[in-house]
Amino acid sequence: MLTPEGRNLLERTQRLLREAEGIEQGVAAARAEPAGTLKVTAPLPVGVNILAPTLPAFCRQHPKGTVELRLSERYVDLIEEGVDVTIRVGEPGDTRLTARRLVPHQVRLNSLSPKCCSSR
- What percent of the chain lies above the pLDDT cut of 90? 37
Can you give the pLDDT at residue 28?
A: 80
- For residue 9, what pLDDT band results from cuts at 50, 70 and 90? very high
Can you give the pLDDT at residue 57?
A: 92
Q: Report the DSSP beta bridge partners of residue 36.
A: 65
Listed residue (56, 46, 120, 111) closest to 85, CA to CA: 46
- For residue 71, what pLDDT band results from cuts at 50, 70 and 90? very high
Domain segments of the chain: what residues? Answer: 1-32, 33-120
pLDDT digits (tens, 9 = 90+) for 72-117: 988 888 888 999 988 887 776 666 777 777 776 665 555 556 665 5
Distance CA 110, CA 76 (A): 30
Judge contact between 54 and 63, C-beta under 8 A: no
Q: What is the CATH number of domain 33-120?
A: 3.40.190.10
Distance CA 21, CA 55 (A): 36
* 85-86, strands of its sheet edge to edge: 65-71, 36-42, 85-86
Please tell me the least confidently modeled range out of 27-36, 54-63, 81-90, 94-103: 94-103
Q: How far is CA 31 from each of CA 20, 25, 40, 51, 63, rounded to the nearest angstrom?
A: 17, 10, 20, 24, 14
